Amino acid sequence: MKARLKELEANAISELESVTDIKSLDPWRVYYLGKNGSLTQILRSLKNLSPDERKSVGAQANKLKLLLQSELQRKKDFLKENELSRAFEKKDLDISLPGRAFPAGRTHPITQSLREICHIFSTMGFGVVEGPEVELDYYNFEALNIPPDHPARDMFDTLWLDSSVDGDSNPMLLRTHTSPMQIRIMENSPPPIRVIVPGKVYRYEASDATHESMFTQVEGLAVGEGITLANLKGTLFEFASRLFGAERKMRFRCDYFPFVEPGVEMSIECLACGGNGCKLCSNSGWLEILGAGMVHPDVLKRVGYDPQIYSGFAFGLGVERIPMLKYGVEDIRLFYENDTRFLKQF
């Protein structure tokens, strides 16, 4: 038995020696160390030996097993190393080539604008909060002085949801603006308040170069004692001069929103023509960028604020418009088509 083991060892080692490629190592391993390999068979037959013999032959056989395993590993490492250096020599592998760069991700242009806007307002002391995109009729309309059948509902083509929380008395919809958050915020905290609300809004309308059924707004709300229209104007002019440059002309004009009194729209001097009149500004020289106003006393009353003590301003800004104006993007739909050739430019 011991002699058989010796012979096995000699054969195995010399055969291993003559192996020259990694692939041929496997048959060798199966032949000697495999489940039905020669060494395994010897180990299995140990049970037929006398206890004394079993002990010494067993020890020898186990030693041989370890030896063959480690020799196999050594040979494997050796062949691998060899293959590599051969590849270097044959120039199959050029280790001097630079690595392949992974394309880095980037933020979407709307996200970039949104962050810039939020940054400007937060340096002016505004907190940032977000709200639900699925909203109740109450917050989107009613509490904002837009009861059912109010003609102002025509300003907001609404996407209604089939389900509603308590029958049809409180229908649900996709918010048409971020203004419902004015109510939610005031319901939940006492004045003073100074926040902005960035978020997606939805309108049921055909999309074209300047309209999308989903777009982004930033709502602003400041309520406290003694807040006036002058504070609104100062805040928004400061904001716009940081975003568009201090030399850019700005103006306020009367506008109407049911939840503010007085209501205004703010425009900036056209970025394309500098105020002379062009296609972009429909020859007016001005571009409207947001709607705003003083929070209506009835809105304040509805959330339990005393309009004799508190006043406030609110504004709502369309985000897509800003990179469109800044970079001359002529079609709003480009932002949501996910064409990386477009997105990569920002």
Residues that bind ligand PHE (CB under 6 A): 177, 179, 257, 260, 291-293, 314-316
Q: Which is nearer to ligand PHE, 117 or 260 (CB)?
A: 260
Minimum gap (Å) between residue 302 Cβ and ligand PHE = 15
Q: Which is nearer to ligand PHE, 177 or 194 (CB)?
A: 177
What is the amino acid identity at position 149?
A: D
Nearest residue to ligand PHE, by Cβ distance, number only? 316
Q: Which is nearer to ligand PHE, 42 or 221 (CB)?
A: 221
Q: Which is nearer to ligand PHE, 9 or 212 (CB)?
A: 212
Minimum gap (Å) between residue 241 Cβ and ligand PHE = 20
Residues facing 84 on adjacent strands? none
Q: Which of 219, 295, 228, 213 is nearest to 257 (CA)?
A: 295
Q: Which is nearer to ligand PHE, 57 or 289 (CB)?
A: 289
Q: Which is nearer to ligand PHE, 57 or 146 (CB)?
A: 146
Minimum gap (Å) between residue 336 Cβ and ligand PHE = 19
What is the amino acid identity at position 23?
A: K
Q: Which is nearer to ligand PHE, 68 or 235 (CB)?
A: 235
Beta strands 160-164 and 127-128 are: unpaired
SS3 for the chain is CHHHHHHHHHHHHHHHHHCCCHHHHHHHHHHHHCCCCHHHHHHHHHHHCCHHHHHHHHHHHHHHHHHHHHHHHHHHHHHHHHHHHHHHHHCCCCCCCCCCCCCCCCCCHHHHHHHHHHHHHHHCCCEECCCCCEEEHHHHCHHHCCCCCCHHHHHCCCCEEEEECCHHHCEEEECCCCCHHHHHHHHHCCCCEEEEEEEEEECCCCCECCECCEEEEEEEEEEEECCCHHHHHHHHHHHHHHHHCCCCCEEEEEECCCCEEEEEEEEEECCCCCCCCCCCCCCCCEEEEEEEEEECHHHHHHCCCCCCCEEEEEEEEECCHHHHHHHCCCCHHHHHCCCHHHHCCC
Minimum gap (Å) between residue 255 Cβ and ligand PHE = 8
Minimum gap (Å) between residue 316 Cβ and ligand PHE = 3
Q: Which is nearer to ligand PHE, 42 or 218 (CB)?
A: 218
Minimum gap (Å) between residue 257 Cβ and ligand PHE = 4
Minimum gap (Å) between residue 156 Cβ and ligand PHE = 7
Minimum gap (Å) between residue 158 Cβ and ligand PHE = 12
